Every structure is written in C-alpha cells, then in structure tokens.
Structure 1
C-alpha cells in the first residue's frame, strides 16, 4: 500500500502524491525551447521530486544527464582537476560511455569533451544538477558556470556544441552567488548565469492539486469522497500549499493518529498541534535563519508582532532572503509569513525567548485548571489574571519593552493554559491602530482577542467598531480586547461593552 512521503524523492508507485502535471508542462516548455534556468525554492519544496518527474518525461525524447552535488567533498570543490574529473565521471556514467578522465585536468579540457559528447549525441542533451547549493559558495563553481555560459553563447552562433538545456536546482538563486561568496566586495550583477531565464513557476500546491492526493488516498481506504474539496481547502489554509507541510500533515493523520474515517477540520487541527510539537529539519532551518540574521528576525517581528504592513520590493536583499528561505511570501505586493504553521511556530519561538529572558513568575497566575469550565475556557478570568500578572510583575519594568513585546508576553502567559487542547493563530488587521487579532481555538470553541496599544479615546471607539465587525464576519457573539496602556496615570480597569448584538470584554494592562 502507498504511504505519504516527506523525505527524499517521491515516487508515484510508492507514495501518495499531488498531481503536478500542469506545473511539469510549463517546465517542459522551457526545456523544449532550449532554455537554461534555475529552480530556486526553499528547502523541502518539491525540487528533487520535480527533477525526478521531469527526467521521466524527458528520457524518450532527450538524452538526460541527471546528477546531484549532494555530499560532494570539499576537496573536489577546492581543486580544479578534482572537480573536472568528478563531473566528467558523473556525466560519462549517466551516458554509459568511457572516457579516460585522468587526462582531463582543466575546465578548458572539460569544455572540449562536452563539445565532442554533444556533437556525437543523436539526441539533444539535457543536463540536470540538483543540490547546487552544496557547491555554490565556491569560486570554482562560478568558473564552471562561466564555461557553460561561454559554450551556450558560442553554440547559439553555430561555433560550438553543448547541452541543449540546463536545469540547476537549489535554494539560492545562482545569479546572487557572487554576493554570497564575496559579501564585502561590490555586488556584481554580470553573473556567469545571466543567460538563464527567470523561473516563475509556482511549485506550491493549490487546493485543487492537493485534492488529487486526497482522492487517491480516500479511494485506497474506501472512504466516501464527499468532503475532499473541504479538506483540501483546509490543508491549504494551514500550509499555503508548502509541499513538505501538506505531506507531513497527511502523514501524521495516517501513520500517527491512524484516523480510519473521512478527515475533518478537527482532525487537521490535531495534526497541526502534533507537527508543532515535533522537531524536524524544516523547522530547524527556519529558526536557524531567524537566529543567524538579525535583519531577518527584525523584519519578521515587525510583520507578525507589530502588525505592520511591509511592501514587497524586489531590490531589498533582506526581503529576497526571506522569500528565498521560504519564511515570507509576496501576497499581492505585501509581505506575509509563508503559512499559518510557520506563523504559529515563529510566535511560539519568539514568545519562548521573551519568557526565558525575563525574570518573572507566572506559575501562580496561569495554573491551567483554574480557567477550564467543562470543555470551555473562562477567557474573562484568563484576561483578568493576565492583567494582575502584568501589574505585579511588569509595573516596574521598562515600559518600552512592555509596549513592544506585550503580545508575546500574553502568548507566553496563555500557552500553558491551552497547551495540548488548543492553539492560537494570529491575524493582522491593517488599520490605523495596527492591531493584532489572536484567534484562539480550544476544543470546538473559538475566542477572538484583539491586542492593541492605547492611542486615545477616538481610536478606542473606532477599534471597538472594527472588532464588532470582525466578530460578525466570524459568526461570534463575544470578543475580547486587551489594551496595552503605558500612561503612568492610567487606570487599569475592566469593562463590558455592548454593541449591537455583540459583547466585548475589555481589559487595560
């Protein structure tokens, strides 16, 4: 029986897979036109599987050389002779031909061998190199690309023979490699790979594509197909179609939760809780990129904690890094966190950093059992205790710190209360108050909490109306408002506000 796969290449006979035929057709057009291009996408975004499926489609019409730089030794990338002979061995093995590689020692000699191979081949040759990142921080690799570029230009003039199409796959855009290698030098845009066309094909899965995998799985298990569209849309809602996350959630439901019925949103929510509790290389890479680059951290913080709208700009190197690593995405010209699972992970991580960096006592304020009534949360009591906690633990602390990190302090406070049964998603509402709505689910219940700073009575009244509208959209009768008010003479009070048929509980902290 097939299974869901989240490691290595996906094989149609062994694994449940999304039907990506439309994407493959678009890539095939580039190859048929003899284009050179780079598939640069984040980690675990389906690059290797895409290359594998492409190879299968190409092998009847083209001669395909498919190699990977995965695991290539550092010695090979530091010595021209070693590199040339290693590459030559890879392509001769793929073509099943014999060439005495020992006599080939330079890039120029390798170029001549490529000419002979391409000229003698009955079919056009397509070269595919996966995991180019493994060698992309090396000048020798740039020299290699430069040689391929020269041959491409000469072949177009009818003066040489070379590979008909070349596909490189990796995280980094090869056009930025000179910056990557020599960060202290002036940026040079005359890349040895400037012959490559832009790769604008989206490898993320849309809900219709996800449904093809769910149908395959349901048919195998004998389930009805009544809710396939709904489940596919929900999978997209949590993952934004990030291939690893889509497959991982499905794998968790099938292999860990062992659900033997049609999936529901509650099932998916439980799978989200499970994935967020587990370590995996995808999450580790995300957090590492935040930890290792202060500019990336601050940009992400500005977007998801401060609730600020940041416009996409293609020339901003930090923005491009965030998109390259898959942390952010460009959504209609505005930067957003790539998906809701990443958003939750980043919130938990940032809240944990606040929790461990502050010498405060939370245990006597947020003991879980005090806030549970049956299967519901007593959210009013949670907020009252949070108000008391802030008054007693933070009243003497730096108010700038509290104002900047108030939302994270709240998330750290509530985490032990909802842990295991609930989780919280954040939805930024762009307004003059730059407010943040924390949407907490606990069991089958939803609690909408607006977090905002105090900007005066007029803004406060406007914010109440906006929250009432948001409650209406979400079909909720009650909402909660937490106001971070750093005025020294402010009266930290509580209030119940009735507006139309909605009730809003307000606390000032």
Structure 2
C-alpha cells in the first residue's frame, strides 16, 4: 500500500512518511527509567502524540513496563462538573487501552470512587494490579479548564508519593503549553502562572522542529517509494519557508505531489514549492486557521503589534514571550531576538489581520495595468493616492491592530493589485523601525518600505531612504517606494496631506516617496 504525507492525526509508519518519532525527545527514556513525572509541550501537529504513542508501544513490547497514551480531551465538555468529566475521561481511557494493550495487560474495571478522586483511584488500581511498572502519558491535558483541571493535577500530585507500586511509575502531561500556562479562571488569573499544583514535575520538554537534513530525509522516503525526486532548490526552499515545522513540511509536500506534480516521472522543482505555499496560505487550512485565531489574544497582540510596526517590545512579561514561543508562533533567532517562526506564518499573520479590511474595500478599477498586462508603477502610485485620500480615514478603523492600521490598509489595497496574478512578500521584525514589502506581478517587482512618523520623532525620510537603499540592493531593484504614514497628532485630514514626491537614496537610486 502506498504511503503518503500526513497532515491529520498521529502518524504510523505503515501509511505515512515519517521520521523516528523519539529522535526529537531524547531525554524521555531516562526520565521514565528514573520514575520521573514530566511535561511534554509543543505546538499542535509537531508530533507529540505520534512520539509518545510510539514510545508507549515500544515500552510495552520491550517487556519492562506497561505503557499507554490516553487522552484527557473529552473531559473538556464538562468544565464545571468534575464527576462527569472524570467519567467521560475514564470511558475514553478504556477504549484507548483496548486498542493499545494486549488483553492480559489491560487494567481491570476501574473501582467506584467519589467525584474528585476517580482519576487517582483508577491509576492506583491499575498500578497495583499490573505485573510491571505502569507508565502513562496524559495527552491533551490542557484541554481541561478550571476546577476539573485543578482537581486532576491535585490527584496526580497526591498519588505521586505512592509510586511505583501503588501509582504509575512515570507519568507525562502532554499539551500545547507548559503547566504554568494551563487555562484557569477561578484563581483570578487566566492561567496558573506557576507549576503548582503539579510541582512534582522534574522536567518540561518541548519538541524541536525538523532540521534541514531531516526535511530532506522525509522527502527522500517519497522518492524511494515512487521514484519522484525533489530537486535541491526545492528542498532548500521547503525548509526556508517552513523552518522545519512538521505540519508545514508535510503539507507543502502533500499539495505538491498530490495536486501540482502528480506525474512521478517529473521532479519537484522550486517553482512547485512556491505554488504549494501560495495554495496553503490561500486555503487557510485548519492548522493555519487555528494559529491565526491566536492573534486575537491580548498576550499575543502585545508582542505582535510592535513587531509588525518594527518597534521595540517594551514591558512585555517573560511569561508572555515564552507563551508565544510555546505556541509555535514565534521563535528566538541566533541573536536571541523574537521573530515569527517561519515565512509561511509571517504571511498568514499579516493576511489574517488585513482580511477584515480587504473585505470592506470598495471596488477599485485596475488602472495600473499596461495594455500588455504589465504593471505600471506610476499609474499604481496615482491609484493608491486617490484611494487613500478617499478611503484611508474610514478604513483605518477596520484594522484590528491600531498601531499598524495604515500598513494593513495599504496591504489590503495591494492584494487587490496582485489578486490572481502575483504575490506580496513581507519582512518585519522587532526594532527595525519599518516593514518591507515586495510586490510581484508577473515579471514585475515593486519594492516598498513603510515607515511611520509619530509624535516627538524626527521626519523618518532620511533614515527611510537609507533603509530602502539596502532593501533595493538586496532585491537587485533599481527603484521603489518609500511610504511614510504620518500618525502625529494635530495633522490635517488625510485627503489634504497625502502626496507623492521623487527622491534618491544615498547610492543614487531613484525612488517615489509617498506621504500619507
């Protein structure tokens, strides 16, 4: 049976291309052998469930332990009813254990117990009747909230001292977040803010993304099965776009080989990966859509809004920065600076934030096209000036992030320009003081740098010309736009102050300066 690239649920080697699941969690075996209770947290669809399910099967088959991966997710349906949540969870466990364990290793029926103690009673009963030490991986633990979550954590802590004979020898909590970020409201906060009441953990582990070599290794399995190869430039781009995020790595390849290059006699080229990226972003698959929803959270907005504007973060708590990293939304670069985790997420973030503005844009006639369909940048400039004068003020109110509202309106306009015939690439980072856009339309490229003039700051024109100079040289372009949004208080209406002028960069490149 042919294997395929998996983008939904745990992988299994019979059906899916996959790498050794535990390669990215090398410490787990030692923690289990030391009877440790620990946490494994990582973003969705990076392989947590696959890795721990595989490990449970290996531990059981080796004969030293009885191990199973069970889910806590069904308990989320009863956030205020501890007893009902426990009953649903234990029923789910029975099904999981039947699927994972031979009959002789399955636990006996769980004893009756009062609400608030049923999870601990079930684990104690299983540990006491098993002929070997029990290892349990509790998946989706952070699906639980409030009293149910606190009750489960306290039961685990209370039973911990009775291991290994009367409670699991080793146990792991598996979820998106570390324990301190589990959702609660009863404590007056929206998260635990410390590891209590699970202060028995010895480690918190997270799963790393694939390396560039591992992406090539995964794609080589498809080549070995089908004969279809990925050209080196395609492999390099796949890693550059995803930075090894496992779901993205699989999704890019899946779209490419199942939809774009279905003839396995044809190799996968760089252009095919580019097309697959555009399809993924356009479709807003569940993984990307759930990621975008995080942008509404105040803790995430406090980081992303200044990042998109190119400003410094300011007083953002370390817990919030770590939370954004744990979600897989951001990462630290080699210099330690926060940045968006990969270029695809970078596109998804801005696209999501600009989507409301795009939906409210008025009809715009494409006056910027030459008779041969090429881009006329002078007409495009005039079209934007007219658009901004007429619609800029009301459209600014549609942007969800106030500090970058002008950026989002400009990008919504440019999406109309490239719709169906081009793309927009964006560069932004903390402390750069700008956002860079590269608009591609057929063979034409337009480089745009965006800066904002705020109160008590000097005119950003000189700095902007210098920065645009470097951006143009990096793209190999002989000209571009510098867009200066004046956000100072007490300025004339947008219609009166919007204008364009010509200037030159320090190296002499001609550019258009748009003051808006």
Normalised to the residue count of structure 2, the TM-score between the two structures is 0.82
Which whole-Å CA distance do the structure 2 matches of 1:175 and 1:90 have between them? 30
- Trace 1:101-250 onto structure 2 (pairs within 5 A): 101=110, 103-105=112-114, 111=120, 114-115=123-124, 117-118=126-127, 121-134=130-143, 136-155=144-163, 161-177=166-182, 179-183=184-188, 189=194, 191-224=196-229, 226-227=231-232, 230-250=233-253
Query: Where does residue 348 of structure 1 map in the other structure?
Result: 351
Give the number of aligned pairs: 494
Do the aligned residues in 2 keep the contact of 1:111 with 1:147 (CA within 8 Å)?
Answer: yes
Which whole-Å CA distance do the structure 2 matches of 1:476 and 1:374 have between them? 21
Which whole-Å CA distance do the structure 2 matches of 1:119 and 1:224 have between them? 53
Say if 1:26 and 1:377 are closer, same or farther in 2 by CA, change over 3 A.
farther
Which whole-Å CA distance do the structure 2 matches of 1:288 and 1:49 have between them? 25
CA deviation vs aligned residue, 1:357-397 (integer Å, no higher than 9, x gap): 6xx64414xx2x74257574333432232122212334799
**Aligned with 1:8: secondary structure?**
coil
Query: Where does residue 379 of structure 1 map in the other structure?
Result: 377
Which whole-Å CA distance do the structure 2 matches of 1:400 and 1:147 have between them? 47
Alpha-carbon offset, residue 123 of structure 1: 3.3
Alpha-carbon offset, residue 271 of structure 1: 1.0
**Bigger CA drift: 240-249 or 375-384?**
375-384
**Bigger CA drift: 345-354 or 93-102?**
93-102
CA deviation vs aligned residue, 1:47-73 (integer Å, no higher than 9, x gap): 221222222332314221222234458
**Bigger CA drift: 342-351 or 89-98?**
89-98
**Aligned with 2:14: secondary structure?**
coil
**Aligned with 2:17: secondary structure?**
coil
Do the aligned residues in 1 keep the contact of 2:338 with 2:430 (CA within 8 Å)?
Answer: no
Alpha-carbon offset, residue 451 of structure 1: 0.9
**Bigger CA drift: 80-89 or 326-335?**
80-89
Say if 1:298 and 1:215 are closer, same or farther in 2 by CA, change over 3 A.
same
Query: Where does residue 476 of structure 1 map in the other structure?
Result: 477
Alpha-carbon offset, residue 169 of structure 1: 1.5
Which whole-Å CA distance do the structure 2 matches of 1:242 and 1:32 have between them? 30
Query: Where does residue 10 of structure 2 map in the other structure?
Result: 9
Which whole-Å CA distance do the structure 2 matches of 1:119 and 1:9 have between them? 30
Which whole-Å CA distance do the structure 2 matches of 1:449 and 1:189 have between them? 44
Normalised to the residue count of structure 1, the TM-score between the two structures is 0.83
CA deviation vs aligned residue, 1:259-294 (integer Å, no higher than 9, x gap): 533223321221121112214322332333334x34
Do the aligned residues in 2 keep the contact of 1:84 with 1:104 (CA within 8 Å)?
Answer: no
Alpha-carbon offset, residue 88 of structure 1: 7.6
Say if 1:290 and 1:225 are closer, same or farther in 2 by CA, change over 3 A.
closer
Query: Where does residue 507 of structure 2 map in the other structure?
Result: 500
Alpha-carbon offset, residue 32 of structure 1: 3.0
**Aligned with 1:453: secondary structure?**
strand
Q: Does 1:327 align with 2:324?
A: no
Q: Extract unaligned runs of 5+ from structure 2.
A: none
Alpha-carbon offset, residue 255 of structure 1: 1.5
Query: Where does residue 422 of structure 1 map in the other structure?
Result: 422
